[in-house]
Amino acid sequence: NAGVTQTPKFQVLKTGQSMTLQCAQDMNHNSMYWYRQDPGMGLRLIYYSASEGTTDKGEVPNGYNVSRLNKREFSLRLESAAPSQTSVYFCATPLGTRAAGYTFGSGTRLTVV
Amino acid sequence: AQSVTQLGSHVSVSEGALVLLRCNYSSSVPPYLFWYVQYPNQGLQLLLKYTSAATLVKGINGFEAEFKKSETSFHLTKPSAHMSDAAEYFCAVNQKEDYKLSFGAGTTVTVRA
């Protein structure tokens, strides 16, 4: 998963706690994405950022906030975690043009109890 | 919104047998199409991509996929399965006007000795 670094790799939260997932890319691309992966549902887009200073909602944004800190970094925040947010979270950025696809981080496995 | 359908959430094949994973998309204009593979507890790796240069696309690890516009399909095949092919496979599409990827629900492949 060269190019995208995510931290932490694992996290257990209690219901109501908050946390921030960090993502950094060195592909020098304007766009960055946050997805969640759940069994039988593939990857669903939470939020994306088309360029530094802009963010937009994806398919499943409720319960999340994001910050595009600079061109390299795009963080995802859970203000008050719920068990429904137990999932694996992936950050991604394009490999180049639209035809090139994405490169993904190694993921954050989050459990909310 | 772009829709991607993968037929069959689980596929079991014998080692040496043909692997066939089905993917259909809904779009009047052929999008960019991708297959990703996810090995257990890992991130997503790009297997291959269709970008309109050729309808038969070869990827890594002996996989290939054929784009059929008339059937809006992009099925993934491998002539002879290997134990190391056991993984989850995702079909993904994006429209040519933006970078957002939409994913199918995924197909888990198990390989029997």
pLDDT tens digits, residue range A70-87? Answer: 999 999 999 999 999 999
CA–CA dist A86, A109 (Å, integer): 8
Q: Which residues in chain B show pLDDT less than 50?
A: none
pLDDT in the model for residue B96: 65
CB contact under 8 A, B43 and A41: no
Kindly report the nearest CA distance between residue B76 and chain A, in angstroms. Answer: 17
pLDDT in the model for residue B2: 63
pLDDT in the model for residue A65: 97
pLDDT in the model for residue A1: 46
pLDDT in the model for residue B67: 93
Q: Which residues in chain A show pLDDT less than 70?
A: 1-2
Q: Chain B residues with CB inside 8 Å of A35's CB? A: 103
Of A1, A31, A40, the CB nearest to B43: A1
Neighbours of B58 (CB within 10 A): 10
Neighbours of B95 (CB within 10 A): 17
For residue B30, whether the previous peptide bond is cis, meaning omega lies within 30 degrees of 0, is no
pLDDT in the model for residue B54: 82
A65-104: string of b/e by CB count within 10 Å (b at 16+)?
ebebeebbbbbbebeebeeebbbbbbbbbbeeebbbbbbb
CB contact under 8 A, B43 and A101: no
CB contact under 8 A, B103 and A100: no
Percent of chain B with pLDDT over 70: 96
